[in-house]
Chains A and B, each alone.
Chain A
């Protein structure tokens, strides 16, 4: 099979446009911007909008979809 087109999502399926959620951990809060710097299981980092799950704190686990946290995750729970 040929390589995927360069504009296709890099992951093995589209992480943003479908019903997908990525568990992430909050590293730092930027309260002024309403964003949190978060990391996923592979160490990837991104700025996440937290308005739908506030308040969040450093170390909290959240479920992220299309750059927005859509749910808080209990600490001792899997994917």
Chain B
């Protein structure tokens, strides 16, 4: 297949749906977690779940980097943005994430110089154009995005851009998956593995899931047929009584990942002992900070960052949504007090967030009728 249309072909989709139907046992309920927010978005945008039997449930995992940022880190960013002389740069969705002190968008309205960028390289360009100002890049994302930040920091070093620094909120995918698998209130049958994270890390880091927990993992692409085929591959493993890491997204993901990207990440970053995840709490070795070699470009060392810790809002059930314990519409404030225009929880902020995906594509109305 060469073109987008073929990956969205309805007849092919129905054929895979038929295959899925043939793989499930009547009376057994299957829960398959899609780890990545990009998959969540595709599932609801294209109605992939409408093609699944009623006993195959897709559970939305913690793979949206905006959704897992805790409120305290947002407040730290806002404090940095209000620092005199600072131009604060971040990705667009991050600007609407609420901390206890409001959002970065509100900080901008209050006078802070907050600018949206599409790439860390854009932030570096702003630094080169404003040598009399300090430019901070607020970095978020999994292993897909971390190499981009790392290359930008290497470029800043090479080009001598001394007024550029980075506040790293980068996270890694394996520790939260292990935490989820250890969670007593979670029952999953298998995983749809993240596509572009795996472009960087490869498929090998997920081998612990079948080895230690006996569950299948299928690395998946993002088109509707990719996801349907991946669900079928998970169900086929279950039907055959085996579990392994399989790669549906072979057109992009090499089994060993991108070694050059892993090298540059290892040079620029080091693991934090602990990092807080929204709704999941502190997870060991799950966050990346700048290594000692790049300490001079670390905004957390260059500036006085408060380092506050703020508990999640009581009304918000993002944590249970992220763990797949409840569906978004089961949250007490979903669609009422919490909407994409006025989000309380981070899952409603980014369109990759499970709550926003449900809300934007009208899924909550149908699901509520079922209940």
Give the chain B neighbours of A49 by CB distance below 8 A: 121, 148, 151, 155
Interface size class of A (residues with CB under 8 A): 35 or more
**B119 and A8 within 8 A (CB):** no
**B140 and A17 within 8 A (CB):** yes
Give the chain B neighbours of A14 by CB distance below 8 A: 66, 91-93, 350-352
A70 CA / B66 CA spacing, docked (Å): 21
**A52 and B264 within 8 A (CB):** yes
Nearest-CB residue, chain B, relative to A65: B144
Query: Interface digits, A3-43 against B, CB 8 Å rule (1 contact, 0 not)?
Result: 00101110011111111110000000000001000000100
Give the chain B neighbours of A12 by CB distance below 8 A: 45, 351
**A79 and B148 within 8 A (CB):** no
Q: How far is the CB of B58 from chain A (nearest CB, A)?
A: 16
Q: Is B1 an interface residue (CB 8 A)?
A: yes
Most chain B beta-carbon neighbours within 10 Å: one of A49, A53, A73, A79: A79
Q: Is B237 an interface residue (CB 8 A)?
A: no
Give the chain A neighbours of B65 by CB distance below 8 A: 17-18
Of A21, A34, A41, A51, the residue contacting B196 (CB under 8 A) is A21
- Provide the main secondary structure of the chain A interface: loop
A66 CA / B146 CA spacing, docked (Å): 10
Give the chain A neighbours of B140 by CB distance below 8 A: 17
Nearest-CB residue, chain A, relative to B4: A79
Nearest-CB residue, chain B, relative to A8: B92
Give the chain A neighbours of B63 by CB distance below 8 A: 19
Q: Is B215 an interface residue (CB 8 A)?
A: no
Of A34, A52, A67, A78, the residue contacting B1 (CB under 8 A) is A78
A79 CA / B258 CA spacing, docked (Å): 19
| Total A-B residue contacts, Cβ distance less than 8 Å | 160
Nearest-CB residue, chain B, relative to A79: B4
**B258 and A19 within 8 A (CB):** no
Give the chain A neighbours of B36 by CB distance below 8 A: 18-19
Q: Is B120 an interface residue (CB 8 A)?
A: yes
Query: Interface digits, B70-112 against A, CB 8 Å rule (1 contact, 0 not)?
Result: 0000000000000000000001111110000000010010000
Give the chain A neighbours of B95 by CB distance below 8 A: 5, 7-8
A8 CA / B41 CA spacing, docked (Å): 16
Known: A13-B41, A16-B118, A71-B199. Contact between A7 and B92, CB under 8 A? yes
Q: Is B142 an interface residue (CB 8 A)?
A: yes
Known: A16-B145, A18-B350, A52-B151. Contact between A67 and B4, CB under 8 A? no
B→A interface (CB under 8 Å):
1-4, 6-7, 36-38, 41, 45, 63-66, 91-96, 105, 108, 116-122, 140-142, 144-145, 147-148, 151, 155, 194-197, 199-200, 221-223, 251-254, 258, 260-261, 264, 340-341, 350-352, 360
- A2-B341, A53-B258, A67-B122 known; 20 new pairs, CB 8 Å cut-off, are A5-B96, A7-B92, A13-B352, A14-B352, A16-B118, A19-B36, A19-B197, A20-B38, A21-B196, A21-B199, A63-B252, A65-B148, A66-B119, A66-B145, A67-B118, A70-B196, A70-B199, A70-B261, A71-B199, A77-B1
A→B interface (CB under 8 Å):
1-2, 5, 7-9, 12-21, 34, 41, 47, 49, 51-53, 63, 65-68, 70-71, 73-74, 76-79
